[in-house]
Copies of this chain bind each other. A is one copy, B any other.
Amino acid sequence: MPAPDSIRVAVVGATGYVGAELVGYLAGHPGARLTAVTSEQSAGKLLADVHPFLQGACDLGLVPFEPKAVAGEADVAFTALPHGASAAGVAALLDAGVEVVDLSADFRLSDPEEYARWYGTHPVPALLNEAVYGLTEFARAALPGARLVANPGCYPTGALLGLLPLLDAGHIETHGIVVDSKSGVTGAGRTVAAEYLFAEISDSFRAYKVGNHRHAPEIDGNVRARTGGDHSLTFVPHLLPIKRGILSTIYTRLRPGVDLAAVEQTFRARYEQERFVRVCGTRLPELREVVGTNDCAIGWAVDGGSNTLVTVTVIDNLGKGAAGQAIQNFNVMQGLPESTGLERVALVP
């Protein structure tokens, strides 16, 4: 049972896959008390009527999203609205004094022109610079005291956790980077479209949006911060016939003099204190090891003939790729132990 003095939180957009996952995490979070859940389409119903698996975890009724009403009930809001629809609501929440962890893409790109290329004109560009990009392991210093956290995209989380230590250490050539990612279907949210029907996905597999996925500029921007733009990177997402999880296979060329030992030393040094990053070494992690958790597991191999480093990262797109990392960011923002409410074991088998 949450203590009476725990932090009051709201989930805005609670019936989507990310929203429901947030509720599941918050139900077991001893430092947060869920006080409001919103939905436009299902307002008036209980959340547990829409999602029976949440019976016992949440007995709240769904209400339409009203920033001021949320402000009356919550100290912090997790916003899980569609891209483009989130920014204005987030601004209103901030104005009303509510801190926000935003799980849409609306505050992930710092450049309003880049944002406009992918999502249309940004309604509150002034907030783009204030938002802290919440890849927790690389954002920890900026989170305490932040009013607004832009929770990273699922693909960027998996890609950047594998790439950034190598870039920071100068181990890899910055040109010719390939990120080949494979995601479960929930990465597309609860979109009701023929292409996501069971009978269209099961037993199949495909690449999509090669060269024009919205997460590409988010990955690129974070790499650019290390290279000043002197890099080239190809990102190709694929759709796995499973529900959850992203495995990214990252191809880079090692710089002269960098060997397997140096790679190992760098990953271990960077992540050895991290509760949610598991360094596997040359044992390549499987997707299922992290499904249902906030963990990222990283392994690698060197292909000797081509001097190519193959780095593999796995996350749960709804965990470390969305709701889990949002809770992690919330914990750091609020000064709680970082793993509060996040101590889960993957559901294997």
Contact = CB atoms under 8 A, between A and B. Distances in A.
Nearest to A344: B28
A217 to B, nearest CB: 10
Contacts of A122: none
Nearest to A316: B347
Interface stretch (A46-54, A76-84, A95-103): A46-54
- Residue of A55, A57, A345 with most partner-chain B CB within 10 A: A345
Interface in A150-186: 175-176, 178, 180, 182, 185-186
A348 interface: yes
Interface in A285-329: 285-292, 295, 297, 301-308, 310, 312
Contacts of A180: 178, 180, 249, 251
A234 B308 contact: yes
Contacts of A346: 53
Nearest to A199: B349
B53 A182 contact: no
Contact of A194 (B190, B206, B232, B283): B190
A138 interface: no
A203 B251 CA distance: 24
A349 B191 CA distance: 13
Report how many copies the assembly holds: 4
Contact of A305 (B53, B232, B247): B232
A280 interface: yes
A111 interface: no
Given A176-B253, A345-B57, A301 B211 contact: yes
A264 to B, nearest CB: 15
A59 to B, nearest CB: 13
A335 to B, nearest CB: 20
Interface string A58-80: 00000000000000000000000
A308 B347 contact: no
Interface string A20-60: 10001001100000000000000000000001111111000
A198 B240 CA distance: 11
- Residue of A20, A285, A305 with most partner-chain B CB within 10 A: A305
Interface in A188-210: 190, 192-194, 196-208, 210
Given A176-B306, A180-B180, A211-B301, 9 more contacts: A51-B348, A176-B308, A192-B193, A202-B241, A210-B310, A211-B305, A211-B310, A232-B308, A234-B303
